[in-house]
Amino acid sequence: MMPASGGSRRVPDIRYGEVPGYRPLELDLYLPGTGEPAPVIVHVHGGGWRRGSRREPLRALGEDFYDTLAAQGFAVAAVDYRLSAEARFPAPLEDVTGAVGWVRDNAARYGLDDGRVFLWGDSAGGHLALLAALTGGKVQGVVAWFPVTDLLGMPADIADAGAVPDTGPGSREALLLGAPAAAVPELARAASPLTHAAAGAPPILLMHGAADDMVPPAQSIRLAEALRAAGATVELELVPGATHMWHGASDVPAIVRRSVDFLRARG
């Protein structure tokens, strides 16, 4: 175990799953060291489903982001999952759901509270966090920052935001699905959190840059509307002036505080 700031400690390179033919699935666990069972954030990194890792939190947050959460009393399971060049959907969803299951199964061993498990992700990670929670991930809450929620709706949303959508076979969405979303509409719908909005959803916080033209805020707005219509608990906050990855946001620490407060109120 490696020491970290704020009295927390890190347990690196934990193998939470293994699929024959693929690299081992690993997570790093950050523990607050409070002496009491800790609520757990399963954190899912972004990167368009094709890049990134558990050791690369959003640049705007700083390298000590996980330690900062641990210092506030949350354990963090920062997870890797199979990227789109390794395996297509639903592989990354299966991995994230498996990581949630690992946390629950190993809670007693690491001093975790298996009744307070949350998902948190940004961009593609937000998409996977939402999808895992909405398809049986059994968590007590979700924070999703600028997530993709409707794969079929992405091209129109991007065009409406003033950008040029990529609908070809090399797009992020096509690499995830194995073909452009329009060519595999049923698969695209199955891979979209919007499809799975239901009354039984855990409480969800959606935060999105109001000026995001890579993953437009219409994606979060549409999911929030669907969740409310279904009777689920959802909060939506659009951050003025912010684009993707919180570029242009005036107060990123306030965004983090808002997210932490949302989860703390659920546990």
| Residue 44, token pair as written in the block | 């899912």
The pLDDT score that the predictor gives to residue 7 is: 66
Per-residue pLDDT of the chain (267 residues; tens, 9 = 90+): 333 444 679 999 999 999 999 999 999 999 998 889 999 999 999 999 999 999 999 989 998 999 999 999 999 999 999 999 999 999 999 999 999 999 999 999 999 999 999 999 999 999 999 999 999 879 999 999 999 999 999 999 999 999 999 999 999 999 999 999 999 999 999 999 999 999 999 999 999 999 999 999 999 999 999 999 999 999 999 999 999 999 999 999 999 999 999 999 997
The pLDDT score that the predictor gives to residue 250 is: 97
Where in the chain are the domains?
A: 2-264
| CA gyration radius, the chain | 17
Q: Full-prediction pTM beyond 0.85? A: yes
Q: CB within 8 A of 69, min separation 6: which ones?
A: 30, 41, 76, 260
Residue pair 229/199 in contact (Cβ under 8 Å)? The answer is: no
The pLDDT score that the predictor gives to residue 8 is: 76
Tell me the one-letter amino acid at 262. F
| Residue 188, token pair as written in the block | 């695209």
- Number of Cβ within 10 Å of residue 250's Cβ equals 11
Residue pair 130/204 in contact (Cβ under 8 Å)? The answer is: yes
The pLDDT score that the predictor gives to residue 2 is: 36
The pLDDT score that the predictor gives to residue 5 is: 42
Query: CB-hemisphere CA count at 13 Å for 226?
Result: 19
Nearest to 37 by CA among 1, 73, 8, 68: 73
The pLDDT score that the predictor gives to residue 155 is: 98
Q: What angle do CA 145, 236, 118 make, to 5 degrees?
A: 55
Nearest to 92 by CA among 17, 194, 168: 17
The pLDDT score that the predictor gives to residue 4 is: 41
Task: Give CA–CA dist 49/57, Å, rounded.
Answer: 14
Task: Give CA–CA dist 149/157, Å, rounded.
Answer: 11
Architecture of domain 2-264 in CATH?
3-Layer(aba) Sandwich (3.40)
